[in-house]
């Protein structure tokens, strides 16, 4: 079963339209919440008047900051650097608004329409202040001492803070000494990644319902990190965590932003308690583009010391990250991951990167699929292309010269990544480049684009290489149970953001139990069914939950065999588990089905054979290190010189995931990732006016690629470097489809323009390509 192109267990329900998304959750008597948001980017709130809203029939409550003044700021889930605490976000604006879309008040009404009518009647008076929107500008004063002290919540007074929330250095070797030798060439590069984010088809949504009879607060709608959210909601509502039940619904995409704890989630949960009514909040698209985490938005400056053969002796880098108005649940995750993943597949013996996380009057920032790697890979691969051009070397050649060699695996880089020490667990970077180059005939592609260029077309070929990370611990668990009818279920703390985790976990269990994967029921995403789970992020579940299920399956097999041996009066060595039954190896006709064994383990019988009741077993998997999948993206693009349009003709991805548990799902992850990566490379960007007004708040202005813009994606999955640090040998496949898209497209556009290094920022706008093409021909391009 492992490695099979097994059909998704999730699909029959979804394809029949029987899925249950956040908005499908319905409770009689439910109230709809609508958030009143700041219309200005920065200002002092003089007054918020809800009286007129409350006069509307059907409006039940309206709250301003004063109604939630006892709530703390939203906490950090990841990378909680202490210096970031003063920048945390209050649930409703606290005297000052800091971005357009910041919640200032909230209304509750009997219908979503009424709630929107009521929100319009809330009068918000704000004295506008100048907006600070350029993270590259010198830091400005940000929060005063009172706000800093309150937001940090440390109980000790803090001074006022400026807009540089944190600055940290990640380094090894001796960069200064390397540059001081004066040997080698210095190559510099500026690389800018526009502000964009994951836009799941389903916007955010949450429904909370306090069930008085059970003394339980039941929360539906957010998928990603239910246990963390449960604990946070327990804290603000004063309930015990065991009284808060968070249930994932089906979900129309996660991608990082969706499923985190936001101010709206706290408000929904609190309202359900205070108003003693079911409360529903379904975000609309415009709110989503204003209020859900933005991401990317980084400006990198790289300086490399390079030897004549292309070897990068030292890399000195800085970058600024446009954090927006507050630091939310992700803490310093993106800056930290950008830093540690910047060297990618290359040795680079001396390395230093300085991260500057800076506040601006824009929507707050968090993670988005391949956080830090999309950005860093763009910057690094641009640099490597530039090195090749300046030294007159081939783009592949320079990469080969710098790759970490397979003989050096596992390869320790003496830095931290997501709080773990960074060890590339396995990888043969050269081999993947060889396989891609041979398999897709890179020399042939090059010859073809050269010939078309000679005939007058502006076509180009480019690629980018990357290392991803996956499988962050610390731990994940699973229970497998077989009932007395022989039906198997896997219960665990894993979360689904639509990636197909049920299917994969069933396959892993099926492998050991010898039954078809679609006979296994997977129960997850409910905090009342399993006690622990860290969530669906950082491409961790196939590794962590997959390994936990593998361990649980092995334990279950051992128990079944033990019981069967006792019953059949043979030794365990004489038995094997196959096709859902334990049989004698020598006489497969003799054996016991799992159902029969389960019946032998019914509580009254189990005591007699000195076993714990029930045919079930728990499995846990713990890991202190991440796994590091790696890959290559390549693209053929055609430019329209007249309009500057970039058309992606071909897109190739090679990805080594150690072991593909289900190749179809890996391909699906890659294809979806590439589409999102193309968004960042060519289309998506949140633009702001000078006064901080967001200019892209609908899909007319925030352009996500459609099926027309995404070419067929050619994928080579390899399994040359299984991970040595988990029982399945697997590495995560969730993010590598996105990672190198900007890098590969930029490289291909350079090639089409025949101007190495021309593209230094994404998204690559038609006007920019047009201007570059016009400059290249020295005249205005037409035709």
Partner 1 sequence: MKPANFEYVRPASLEEALVELAKDPDESKVLAGGQSLVPMMNFRLARPERLIDINRIPLLEGVESVGDRVVIRARTRHLALQNLSMSTPLGSLLRTGAAHVGHLPIRTRGTFGGSIAHCDAASEWCLVAGLLDAEMTVRSQARGTRTIPASDFFWSIFTTAMEPDEILTEVSLPALDDSYRTGIAEFARRAGDFAIVAATGAVQVVDGVVRDARVCLGGVSEVPFRSAAAEQVLLGQEWSPRLLRDAAEAAADEVDPPSDSHGDGEYRRDLVRALLPRALAGAVR
Nearer to partner 1, 315 or 674 (CB): 674
Nearer to partner 1, 571 or 782 (CB): 782
Nearer to partner 1, 640 or 691 (CB): 640
Nearest distance from residue 649's CB to partner 1, in Å? 15
Asked if 708 interacts with partner 1 (CB under 8 A), we say yes
- DSSP letter at 679 equals I
Asked if 647 interacts with partner 1 (CB under 8 A), we say no
Asked if 457 interacts with partner 1 (CB under 8 A), we say no
Asked if 485 interacts with partner 1 (CB under 8 A), we say no
Asked if 783 interacts with partner 1 (CB under 8 A), we say yes
Residue 181: burial class (beta carbons within 10 Å; 0-12, 13-18, 19+): exposed
Which of these ranges, 303-311, 477-485, 575-583, 640-648, lies near partner 1 under the rule CB under 8 A? 640-648
Across 295-428, the runs of DSSP E, i.e. the strands, are: 295-306, 312-324, 350-359, 411-417, 420-424
Q: Which of residues 382-411 bind partner 1 (CB under 8 A)?
A: none
Which of these ranges, 149-157, 267-275, 533-541, 695-703, lies near partner 1 under the rule CB under 8 A? 695-703
Nearest distance from residue 767's CB to partner 1, in Å? 4
The Cα 640–Cα 359 span in angstroms is 38
Please answer whether residues 260 and 326 qualify as being in contact, where contact means their C-beta atoms are separated by less than 8 angstroms: no
Nearest distance from residue 603's CB to partner 1, in Å? 55
Asked if 546 interacts with partner 1 (CB under 8 A), we say no
User: Alpha helix locations (H) across 263-304?
Assistant: 263-274, 285-291
Which residues lie across from 57 on neighbouring strands? none
Which of these ranges, 114-122, 524-532, 603-611, 714-722, lies near partner 1 under the rule CB under 8 A? 114-122
Nearer to partner 1, 535 or 694 (CB): 694
The Cα 535–Cα 223 span in angstroms is 8
Closest C-alpha to 480, from 554, 579, 581: 554
Nearest distance from residue 128's CB to partner 1, in Å? 22
The contact mask relative to partner 1 for 581-620 (x = CB under 8 A, - = no) is ----------------------------------------
Nearest distance from residue 700's CB to partner 1, in Å? 8
- Residue 97 has φ and ψ, to the nearest 5°, of -100, 145
Nearest distance from residue 370's CB to partner 1, in Å? 23
The Cα 695–Cα 295 span in angstroms is 16
Closest C-alpha to 507, from 666, 738, 724, 720: 666
Asked if 285 interacts with partner 1 (CB under 8 A), we say yes
Long-range contacts of 595-600 (CB under 8 A, 24+ apart): 595/482, 595/483, 595/484, 595/485, 595/486, 597/482, 597/560, 597/563, 597/564, 597/567, 598/482, 598/483, 598/484, 598/486, 599/484, 600/563, 600/567
Asked if 112 interacts with partner 1 (CB under 8 A), we say yes
Q: Which of 24, 49, 83, 117 binds partner 1 (CB under 8 A)?
A: 117
Asked if 652 interacts with partner 1 (CB under 8 A), we say no
Q: Which of 412, 642, 690, 714 binds partner 1 (CB under 8 A)?
A: 642
The Cα 567–Cα 200 span in angstroms is 53
Q: Which of residues 748-767 bind partner 1 (CB under 8 A)?
A: 765-767
- Residue 618 has φ and ψ, to the nearest 5°, of -100, 150
The Cα 637–Cα 650 span in angstroms is 7
Nearer to partner 1, 36 or 409 (CB): 36
Which residues lie across from 319 on neighbouring strands? 300, 355
The contact set with partner 1 (CB under 8 A) reads 112-113, 116-117, 120, 284-286, 640-645, 683, 687, 695-696, 698, 700-701, 703, 705-706, 708-709, 765-767, 770-771, 774, 780-783
């Amino acid at each position: 079963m492992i490695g099979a192109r097994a059909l998704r267990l999730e699909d029959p329900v979804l394809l029949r339209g029987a899925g249950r998304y956040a908005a499908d959750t319905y409770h009689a008597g439910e109230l709809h919440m609508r958030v009143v948001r700041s219309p200005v980017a920065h200002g002092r709130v003089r007054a918020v008047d809800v009286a007129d809203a409350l006069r509307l029939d059907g409006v039940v409550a309206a709250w301003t900051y004063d109604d939630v003044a006892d709530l703390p700021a939203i906490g950090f889930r990841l990378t909680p650097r202490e210096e970031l605490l003063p920048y945390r976000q209050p649930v409703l604006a606290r005297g000052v608004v800091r971005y357009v879309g910041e919640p200032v008040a909230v209304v509750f009404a009997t219908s979503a329409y009424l709630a929107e009518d009521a929100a319009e009647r809330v009068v918000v008076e704000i004295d506008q202040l100048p907006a600070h929107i350029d993270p590259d500008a010198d830091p400005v004063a940000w929060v005063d001492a009172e706000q800093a002290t309150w937001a940090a919540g440390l109980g000790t007074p803090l001074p006022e803070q400026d807009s540089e929330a944190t600055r940290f250095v990640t380094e090894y070797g001796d960069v200064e000494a390397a540059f001081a030798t004066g040997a080698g060439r210095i190559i510099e590069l500026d690389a800018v990644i526009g502000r964009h984010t994951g836009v799941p088809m389903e916007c955010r949504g949450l429904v909370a319902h306090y069930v008085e009879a059970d003394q339980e607060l039941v929360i539906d709608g957010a998928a990603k990190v239910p246990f963390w959210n449960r604990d946070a909601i327990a804290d603000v509502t004063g309930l015990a965590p065991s009284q808060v039940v968070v249930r994932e619904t089906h979900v129309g995409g996660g991608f990082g932003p969706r499923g985190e704890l936001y101010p709206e989630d706290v408000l929904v949960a609190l309202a359900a308690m205070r108003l003693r009514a079911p409360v529903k909040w379904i975000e609309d698209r415009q709110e989503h583009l204003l209020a859900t985490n933005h991401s990317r938005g980084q400006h990198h400056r790289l300086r490399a010391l390079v030897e004549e053969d292309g070897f990068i002796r030292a890399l000195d880098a800085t970058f600024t990250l446009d954090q927006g108005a507050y630091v939310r649940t992700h803490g310093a995750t993106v800056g930290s991951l950008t830093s540690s993943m910047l060297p990618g597949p290359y040795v680079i013996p001396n390395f230093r990167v300085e991260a500057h996380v800076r506040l601006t009057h824009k929507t707050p920032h968090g993670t988005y699929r391949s956080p830090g790697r999309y950005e860093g890979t763009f910057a690094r691969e641009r640099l490597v292309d530039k090195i090749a051009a300046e030294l007159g070397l081939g783009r592949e050649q320079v990469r080969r010269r710098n790759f970490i060699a397979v003989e050096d695996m596992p390869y320790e880089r003496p830095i931290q990544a997501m709080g773990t020490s960074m060890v590339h667990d396995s990888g043969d970077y050269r081999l993947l480049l060889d396989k891609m180059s041979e398999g897709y005939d890179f020399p042939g592609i090059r010859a073809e684009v050269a010939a078309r260029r000679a005939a007058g077309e502006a076509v180009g070929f480019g690629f980018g290489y990357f290392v991803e990370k996956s499988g962050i611990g610390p731990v994940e668990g699973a229970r497998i149970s077989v009932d007395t009818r022989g039906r198997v279920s896997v219960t665990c703390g894993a979360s689904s953001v639509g990636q197909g985790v049920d299917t994969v976990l069933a396959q892993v269990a099926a492998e050991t139990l010898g039954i078809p994967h679609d006979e296994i029921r997977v129960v997850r995403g409910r905090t009342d069914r399993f006690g622990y789970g860290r969530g669906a992020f950082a491409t961790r579940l196939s590794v962590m939950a997959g390994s936990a299920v593998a361990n649980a399956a092995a334990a279950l097999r051992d128990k079944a065999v033990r019981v069967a041996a006792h019953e059949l009066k043979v030794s365990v060595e004489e038995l094997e588990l196959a096709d859902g039954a334990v049989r004698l190896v020598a006489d497969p006709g003799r054996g016991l089905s799992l159902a029969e064994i389960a019946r032998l383990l019914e509580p009254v019988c189990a005591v007699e054979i000195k076993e714990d009741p029930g045919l079930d077993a728990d499995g846990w998997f713990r890991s202190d290190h991440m796994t590091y999948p790696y890959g290559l993206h390549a693209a053929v693009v055609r430019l329209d010189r007249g309009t500057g349009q970039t058309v992606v003709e071909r897109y190739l991805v090679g990805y080594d995931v150690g072991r593909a548990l289900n190749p179809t799902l890996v391909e699906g992850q890659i294809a979806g990732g590439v589409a999102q990566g193309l968004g960042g490379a060519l289309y998506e960007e949140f633009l702001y006016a000078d006064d901080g007004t967001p200019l892209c708040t609908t899909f007319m202005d925030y352009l996500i690629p459609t099926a027309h813009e995404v070419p067929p994606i050619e994928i080579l999955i390899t399994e040359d470097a299984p991970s040595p640090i988990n029982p399945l040998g697997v590495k995560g496949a969730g993010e590598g489809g996105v990672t190198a898209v900007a890098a590969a497209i930029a490289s291909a556009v350079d090639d089409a323009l025949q101007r190495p290094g021309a593209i230094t920022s994404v998204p690559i706008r038609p006007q920019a390509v047009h201007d570059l093409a016009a400059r290249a021909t020295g005249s205005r391009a037409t035709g």
